[in-house]
Amino acid sequence: MKFVIQRVTGASVSVEGVTIGAIENGYMVLIGIGKDDTTKEADRLIDKMIKMRIFDDENDKINLSLEDVGGSLLLISQFTLYADCRKGNRPSFTNAAPPAEAERLYEYIIAKCKERVPNVQKGSFGADMKVELTNSGPFTIVLDSDIFL
């Protein structure tokens, strides 16, 4: 499982010109789910993401978590995080979870995040989405369960 976390001052996602999710201060997170991923990986990455201290405190030190600043989440499914580009010029996605399993885990992640974060917005699984964001910093962190767990 992979989370690409971008600290943002604003982010939104739209489908066919209609905004379906938008946040201000918080994280826009691209979520890739691998074929062997389970709720165990999801729980560990969610906990790490929410507790991660990458917001500035009163002394301009990155010392505050999403919870500390009352930040929001915009969660976007992104199977292309599992692109394998080692052979040829066309990426292979065989390491990504099958769509039904990926959607189940994506919805699980959303539900678990909603238990801890007051404002959780999401994209539309499998849709052609347009994502806009203002990356604050810029600050981007990649959590990968193959490395982290």
In this structure, what token pair is assigned to residue 32? Answer: 């890739």
- Of 43, 106, 117, 116, residue with least CA distance to 75: 106
Six-digit token string for 125: 């699984």
Catalytic-residue membership of 79: yes
CA distance 77 to 129: 10
Query: Among the options 78, 93, 121, 134, which is catalytic?
Result: 78
Task: Please name the helix (run of DSSP H) or strand (run of DSSP E) that holds residue 105, with its range, or none.
Answer: helix 99-114
User: Which tokens hold the place of 111?
Assistant: 């539900």
Query: Token pair of 75, please?
Result: 């969660």
Which residues, 6 or more positions from 35, have their beta carbon under 8 angstroms from its beta carbon? 94, 95, 96, 97, 98, 101
- Active-site residue, selected from the candidate residues 79, 94, 125, 140: 79
Active-site residue, 148 included: no
Catalytic residue among 19, 80, 134, 140: 80
**39 in catalytic set:** no
**Catalytic residue numbers?**
78-80
